[in-house]
């Protein structure tokens, strides 16, 4: 069974990143609209409805939608969020159009799912009342003017984007990745409870326009002309608000974060000078390496030769600390091209020392090692 599912995964997996991420945005937005609009419909048909049910339902729907799509596309599920992320450099600009199209399609599918869930309830609405098509889209309070509605949607979307930018900013409070969707849902809950009574707090062009279009298709003819053609305000005002909210956070908070330090870098003069060295070691001594050892004892038991003279003084090092990663050398120019320390010009080669005539070479071993093989310890088992 596992082998079969692995084959299906390899065969059906989408390789193109933009297509894969756009599909995630479509599914996430459909999840948002389905759960959110279903909460509205359920609240309208319930005898225990409350003003908190709809904000809480949509906040939970947004958190779930981000959990569904966040690991693939970032979980924007809102064209305004995609616009704000692109304007501030958090999202590639080539994602703007595909994500936006996917979000509008996903919102349409979410509205269709909501209609299917409450199909019998909508069938009983023979009068085509506003309370029923208000499940799909937002409509303003009768006492709110067009300018007031526009300002409400602009400020609400700006607050939403400001909160989302703060929650997703790793340099700010560094919210754990698994807690980001819940925090974004709380932001939406706060914005809806603060301004939802004015215009319904659409805060999302896809969430308002696509379900409004679906309600028009199923027979509600006046959804685009209701309240002095209100339908354009949740689109235009939300985009204006997203630009304001994203740039407000970017220029007031994000650009003022201190620059990130590289791994192992500290704020002191010594480390800034030697920032390429990670491990601090003691500086080298001023005495050079010892000379070569004397000639070893010959086969006849002659005493070992005298120890060679000590090498000349090594180069003093002015750097107080050096990195172990670079082999103790000041820079790459001093590093030898093959292993070991670089030869000091004042240190003579081994060939410059004449052979001691008091120790003649044994003619019986002209080319053998210094210590001949002892035949008395030969093991016949390994012959």
Q: Is the pLDDT of residue 323 over 60?
A: no
Average pLDDT, the chain: 79
Least confident of 34-48, 170-184, 346-360: 346-360
Please name the fold of domain 17-119+129-254: Glycerol uptake facilitator protein (1.20.1080)
The 3-state secondary structure of 74-120, one letter per residue = CCCCCHHHHHHHHHCCCCCHHHHHHHHHHHHHHHHHHHHHHHHHCHH
Buried b (16+ CB within 10 A) or exposed e, 7-30: eeeeeeeeeeebeebbbbbbbbbb
pLDDT at 131: 78
- Residue 375 CA to residue 201 CA, distance in Å, equals 99
Least confident of 104-108, 188-192, 260-264: 260-264
**For the residues 301-321, what does the mean pLDDT come to?**
52
Task: Name the band, by pLDDT with cuts 50, 70 and 90, for residue 192.
Answer: very high
pLDDT > 90 in the chain, percent? 54
**For the residues 11-19, what does the mean pLDDT come to?**
91
| Residue among 99, 253, 78, 93 nearest 165 (CA) | 253
For residue 323, the 8-state DSSP code is E
The pLDDT tens digits for 69-104 are 999 999 999 999 999 999 999 999 999 999 999 999
pLDDT at 329: 46
Strands 280-281 and 322-323: antiparallel
Alpha helices in the chain (DSSP H): 2-12, 17-44, 53-73, 79-87, 96-117, 119-123, 130-133, 146-167, 180-199, 205-217, 226-229, 233-252, 269-273
- Residue 39 CA to residue 32 CA, distance in Å, equals 11
* Phi/psi at 292 (5° precision): -70, 155
Q: Is the pLDDT of residue 278 over 50?
A: no
Q: Between residues 273 and 20, which one has the greater pLDDT? A: 20
**Dihedral (Cα; 93, 230, 61, 41), 10-degree rounding:** -160
The full set of domain ranges for the chain reads 17-119+129-254
**For the residues 328-336, what does the mean pLDDT come to?**
50
Q: Is the pLDDT of residue 188 over 90?
A: yes
Which range of 103-107, 134-138, 217-221 scores highest in mean pLDDT? It is 103-107
Least confident of 101-110, 241-250, 363-372: 363-372
341: tokens are 């320390």
Measure Cα distances from 299 to 186, 209, 296, 371, 372 in Å: 88, 100, 10, 7, 7
| Residue among 2, 309, 51 nearest 195 (CA) | 51
């Amino acid at each position: 069974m596992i082998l079969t599912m692995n084959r299906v995964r390899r065969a059906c997996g989408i390789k193109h990143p933009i297509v894969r991420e756009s599909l995630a945005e479509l599914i996430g937005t459909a999840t948002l609209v389905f759960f959110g609009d279903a909460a509205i419909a359920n609240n309208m048909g319930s005898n225990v409805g409350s003003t908190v049910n709809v904000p809480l339902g949509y906040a939970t729907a947004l958190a779930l939608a981000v959990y569904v799509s966040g690991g693939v596309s970032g979980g924007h599920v809102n064209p305004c969020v995609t616009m704000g992320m692109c304007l501030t450099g958090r999202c590639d600009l080539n994602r703007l159009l595909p994500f936006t199209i996917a979000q509008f399609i996903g919102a349409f599918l979410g509205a269709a799912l909501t209609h299917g869930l409450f199909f019998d309830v909508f069938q009983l609405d023979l009068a085509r009342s506003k309370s029923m098509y208000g499940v799909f889209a937002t409509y303003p309070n009768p006492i709110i003017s067009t300018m007031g509605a526009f300002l409400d949607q602009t400020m609400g979307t700006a607050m939403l984007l400001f909160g989302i930018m703060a929650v997703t900013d790793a340099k700010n409070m560094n919210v754990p990745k698994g807690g980001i969707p819940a925090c974004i849902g709380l932001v939406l809950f706060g914005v809806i409870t603060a301004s939802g009574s004015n215009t319904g707090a659409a805060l999302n062009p896809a969430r308002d326009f696509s379900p409004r279009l679906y309600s028009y298709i199923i027979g509600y003819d006046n959804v685009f002309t209701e309240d002095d053609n209100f339908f354009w305000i949740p689109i235009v005002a939300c985009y204006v608000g997203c630009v304001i909210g994203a740039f407000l956070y970017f220029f007031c908070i994000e650009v003022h974060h201190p620059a990130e330090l590289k791994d192992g870098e500290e704020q002191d003069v010594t480390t800034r000078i030697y920032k390429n060295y990670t491990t601090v070691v003691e500086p080298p001594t001023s005495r050079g390496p010892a000379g070569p050892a004397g000639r070893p004892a010959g086969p006849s038991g002659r005493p070992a030769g005298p120890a060679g003279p000590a090498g000349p003084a090594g180069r003093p090092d002015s750097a107080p600390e050096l990195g172990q990663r670079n082999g103790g050398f000041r820079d790459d120019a001093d590093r030898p091209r093959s292993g070991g320390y670089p030869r000091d010009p004042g240190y003579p080669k081994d060939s410059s020392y004449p052979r001691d005539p008091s120790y003649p070479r044994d003619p019986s071993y002209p080319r053998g090692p210094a210590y001949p093989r002892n035949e008395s310890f030969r093991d016949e088992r390994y012959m």
